[in-house]
Structure 1
Amino acid sequence: MSKQTVSEISPEVEPVTYDMRGVIAGIKRTFPVGISIFAYGLIFGVLSGQAGLRPFEALLMSSLVYAGSAQFAVLGMWIAPLPAASIIITTLIINLRHVLMGAALYPWFSQLSPLKRYLTAYLMTDESWALTMGEYMNGRRNAGFLLGSGIVAFTAWNGSTIAGQLLGGVVQDPAKYGLDFAFTAVFIALLLGLWRGKGDLLPWGVAALVAIVVSQALPGKWYILAGGFAGSLMGAWTYGRKS
C-alpha cells in the first residue's frame, strides 16, 4: 500500500505549513490583544498578592497553569488549609473547553510532528485560538501563527502577573481603574473578528442560552463547558445541512 498524505486521504483538509513567517504573523496580529491581556493580568497579579501568594508563586502558577479564568477562580479558594481536591476539580472543569478548542484545530495540527503540535498547543489560549481560527477561516494555513500568538500571550500574562504583584500596594482596587473590563473588551473584539454572517446566529445563540441556563441550574463553572459543547453541536449540525 502506497504512503498517502493527509490531504490525499481527506481532500477537505488543506496542507499546512509551519515556519517563521507564520510565527511572525502571529506575533504581529496578537500584539494589540497582548496589551489587553497585560491589563487583566495586572488584576491577577494584584489579587494573587492579596490572597497571600508571593511573586515567585504567582509567576509559577501563571507559567504552569497558564489559564486566566481558572487562576482567578482558584484565588477565591486560596485559604488555609488549601482545598487541593476542589482546586484541581474546578481547574479541570473550567479548562475542559480546551478539548473543544483543540478538536477544532485538529484537522490542521494533526499534520504536524508531535513536538511542534504539543509545544504549540501548550501556548494556546482563548485569544490565540480565536485569532488562529480567524486565520484559517480566511484561508491562511500556517500553523506557526498559533505559536507566535501564544508567545505574545504567554509573555504578556506572566509579565503582568509580576507587575501586578509589584503594584499591589498601589493598585489595591483594579476595578477603580477600569482594568476589570479589559477581559470583557478583548473577547467582544475577538467575537466580532470571528463573525461570518447570519449563519453564526444560531450556534452562538444556543451556546449563550445553554450557558445561562446551566449557570443557574448547576454550581461551579459547568456552564462554560455546556455552552461551548452545545454551540459546537449546533454549529456542526447547521454546517452539515449546508453541505
Structure 2
Amino acid sequence: MSTLAAPYRFSDQFFAGARACIPVVISVAAYGVVWGVLARGAGLSLIEVVLMSGLVFAGSAQFVALDLWTATPSSLPIGPLILAALIVNLRYLLLTATLRPLFRPDQQWKGALMMGIVSDETWAMTVGEMAKGRGTIGFLLGGGVLAYCCWMATTVIGHTLGSAIDDPSKYGLDFAFTATFLALLLGMWKGKGDLVPWLVAALAAMVSARLIEGSWYILIGGIVGSLAGAVAERLRKNAD
C-alpha cells in the first residue's frame, strides 16, 4: 500500500526531510572534508573529485576507491575499482527495496532514479517516518538533496584544504578509511551469527594481502566473506 495517500504537501515534506537531515549533515560534512583531503593526497584532480562525488555519492565506496587509486592513469585498476564499489554498495539493493511502498506502480522508474541520492542516514530517517505512517517521496527527496549537496561541497572544500596538508597521516586523517568500515560494521551488527563471515572475510583479506601484490585483498575479503555469510544463513535456515 502506498503512503502517498497521506494529505501532505510535497513542499512541506521536502523541507521536513531537509530539516530532519541537518544533524546528519554535520557528520557528512566532516566525512566529506576528510575524503577530499585524502583524495588530493592520492593524486585526484578537482574535476575528478567533483565527478566521483557527483556520480558515485557513496562515501564508503569512495574511500575504497582511494585505497585502490594510483597516480598513473595507465595503471589504474579499473576492474578492481568497479568490483570493490559494487561489493561495498550491494547493501543498497536491500535498503532501497524497502522504500518501494512510497511509489505507485506507475512511478517505479521515477523511484529507481531517485535511489541514486539515498544514503544510509536518509534511508533510516525515511523508513522511520514510514513506520509512523508519514513517509513520503518529498521527505526522502528533501533529506537526500541536502545530504548530496553537503557531500559535494565538503569534498571540494577538503580537496582545496588538502593543498595546505602535506602529510594527512600527521593529523591522523589516514585512519579515516579504517574508521569508516569500523562504523559500518557496528551499524550492520545483528548478533553473534555475524562473527563467522566477518572473521572469514578478515582472514581471507590478511592471507591474500600477504600472497598477492596490490589491493586485491579488499575484493577477495569481501567476496569470501559474502559467500561465508550466505552459507551460514543457509545453515541457520536448515537448522530451523
Q: Tell me if both proteins adopt one fold, taking TM over 0.5 as the criterion.
A: yes
**Aligned match of 1:154:** 148
SS at 2:160 equivalent: helix
Cα distance in 2 for partners of 1:210, 1:110 equals: 40
Equivalent position to 1:73, from 64, 84, 104 = 64
Comparing both structures, which one devotes a greater share of its residues to helix?
A: 2
The alpha-carbon deviation at position 173 of structure 1 amounts to 2.7
- Superposition pairs for residues 14-163 of structure 1, below 5 Å? 14-16=3-5, 19-79=10-70, 80=72, 81-111=75-105, 113-114=107-108, 116-163=110-157
Distance 1:208 1:132, change over 3 A: farther
Change (3 A) 1:185 1:93: closer
Indicate conservation of the 8 Å contact 2:14/2:140, yes or no: yes
Unaligned 5+ runs, structure 2: 206-217
Using the aligned pairs only, state the percent identity.
34
- After superposition, the Cα gap between the structure-2 partners of 1:53 and 1:90, relative to the gap in structure 1 and judged at 3 Å, is same
Deviation by residue 1:7-34 (Cα, 9 ceiling, x = unmatched): 4xxxxx6555572222111100001211
TM-superposition CA deviations, 1:183-223 (whole Å, max 9, x none): 689879x96xxxxxxxxxxx821574355234324443638
Which residue does the alignment assign to 2:171?
A: 176
Give the conservation status (yes or no) of the 8 Å contact 2:3–2:133: no
Structure 1, unaligned runs of 5 or more: 1-6, 8-12, 192-202, 238-243
Report the residue type matching 2:56 in the other structure.
V
Aligned to 2:199: 213
The answer to whether the 8 A contact 1:51-1:78 is kept is: yes
